[in-house]
Amino acid sequence: MSYEYISSRLKEIAPDLHAGKTIVCHFGAGASLAALVGGKGFTTTMGFTPLDGLIMGTRTGTIDPGVLLYLMNEKKYTLKDLEDMLYYKSGVLGLSEESSDFYAIEISKLEKSQEAWKICVYNLIKQIGSLVAAMDGFDGIVFTAGVGENAALLRTQVIAGLSFFGLEIDESLNKSKAELISTASSKVKVMVIPTEEELMIAKHALALQK
């Protein structure tokens, strides 16, 4: 729903990106990336379920299956234990041992929380890079969802990690949550677009009634 909405908004406000190759970063308590080519989904960080991919508030994101085998064989985890760990006790909460709230982690003085923030930023940069490779380049990146829309520091650090692609952002625009935050000289456009998943659900529901 989120990616469908962002694609529709790009068609209205940035038709060049809609027609090109764009990475959308939906980053909140749940998080994932989608690569759009010509406004259509090309690939995503999600797998069989949305559990795969980016590190989330309480969910692991991508994890070595060997970890699960180890927990079952050596630590005697049951299937319910594994499900509980994967969905509710991992991610930022598991890494920080403080909170599942990205905003709390961002300002925390605790070493584990600071490390959790760094790991999440690194993971995000790494997975964006994988989508760029899959699409053979990109024309834009869009940040959306709660953290993506509101955490200026996250955007600053992620774009800094991708600067070798020629990305540059204007920090004054970034901090003011402007729609377009990249500089005029940036080789890739960087945008912040609030998502409207509920609107897309309502539109699909209305379409079914016709």
Tens of pLDDT, residue by residue over 54-64, are 999 999 999 99
What is the predicted pLDDT for the residue at 206? 87
What is the predicted pLDDT for the residue at 14? 96
What is the predicted pLDDT for the residue at 32? 96
What is the predicted pLDDT for the residue at 44? 97
Q: Where residue 25 sits, what CATH number does that domain have? A: 3.30.420.40
Closest by alpha carbon to 179, among 196, 167, 191? 191
The residue among 110 and 196 whose pLDDT is bigger is 110
In the predicted structure, residue 197 carries a pLDDT above the cut 90: no
Phi, psi of 141 (to 5 degrees): -135, 135
The pLDDT tens digits for 12-43 are 999 999 999 999 999 988 999 999 999 999 99
What is the predicted pLDDT for the residue at 168? 96
In the predicted structure, residue 210 carries a pLDDT above the cut 80: no
Q: How far apart are the first and last CA of the chain?
A: 20
What is the predicted pLDDT for the residue at 20? 97
Residue 149 domain boundaries: 2-209
Total structural domains within the chain: 1
Phi, psi of 94 (to 5 degrees): -65, -40
What is the predicted pLDDT for the residue at 106? 93
Average pLDDT, the chain: 95
What is the predicted pLDDT for the residue at 177? 84
The pLDDT of 181-208, averaged and rounded, is 91
How would you class 185 by CB atoms within 10 Å of its CB: exposed for 0-12, middle for 13-18, buried for 19 or more?
exposed
- Note whether 172 and 156 are within 8 A (CB): no
